[in-house]
Structures are given as structure tokens and as C-alpha cells.
Amino acid sequence: RLESKLLVLATIGAASPFIGLFGTVWGIMTAFRGIAASKNTSLAVVAPGIAEALFATAIGLFAAIPAVIAYNWLQSRAAKQQARLEAFADEFSAILSRHVDQRIGG
């Protein structure tokens, strides 16, 4: 169950920066189209495209950063839980083995 959540978080953490980068490229292209259409490089022409690019970058980071943090935290918890379960299994196996040896030998 935990592993399926980890897969989702890993996917979000990996894909979000690329989605943000795509939006950044799109915004820069919009800025260049504005410059080409008006044949003017004033701030009023460039600003909307740049704002769009920065917004897309921010959204990508806004999604990626918490996903990566949550992924790492859950991965750490899963590893600790697995270690505890393995230790329990080893101890339980040793107890059963001693019990069987006592029954057979004694």
C-alpha cells in the first residue's frame, strides 16, 4: 500500500519540473511572438510572456518540492518498517527453531 503511494509521489516529483519547464518555454515563446508582432521590445510587450513563464516554473516547483520531500520521508519510513519486520521475522524464526529443537530433543 505504501509503495503505491511512493510511486505516485515519485512520478509527481519527477514530472512536475518538466511540466514547469514546458510552461516556461511556452511563456518565452509567447514573449517572442509579442515582440515579433509589435516589432517592439518594450516591457509591456515582453512582460506578459515572461510572467506566464515564471508562473509555470513556480507551479512546477510548487508541485515537485513537496512531492520529493514526502517521497523521501515515506521511503525512509518504509525502510525502517521493513527492517523492523525483518528483525521480528528473524527473532520469531529463532524462537520457533528453539521450540522445535526442544520438542524433538527433550
Q: What is the pTM of this model?
A: 0.72
pLDDT of residue 3: 76
pLDDT of residue 45: 86
pLDDT of residue 105: 78
SS3 content of the chain, % helix, strand, coil (to 5): 95, 0, 5
Ranges of the chain whose pLDDT falls below 70: 106
How far apart are alpha carbons 55 and 85 in whole angstroms? Answer: 45
pLDDT digits (tens, 9 = 90+) for 46-75: 898 899 999 999 999 999 999 999 999 999
Burial class (CB within 10 angstroms; exposed 0-12, middle 13-18, buried 19+) of 103: exposed
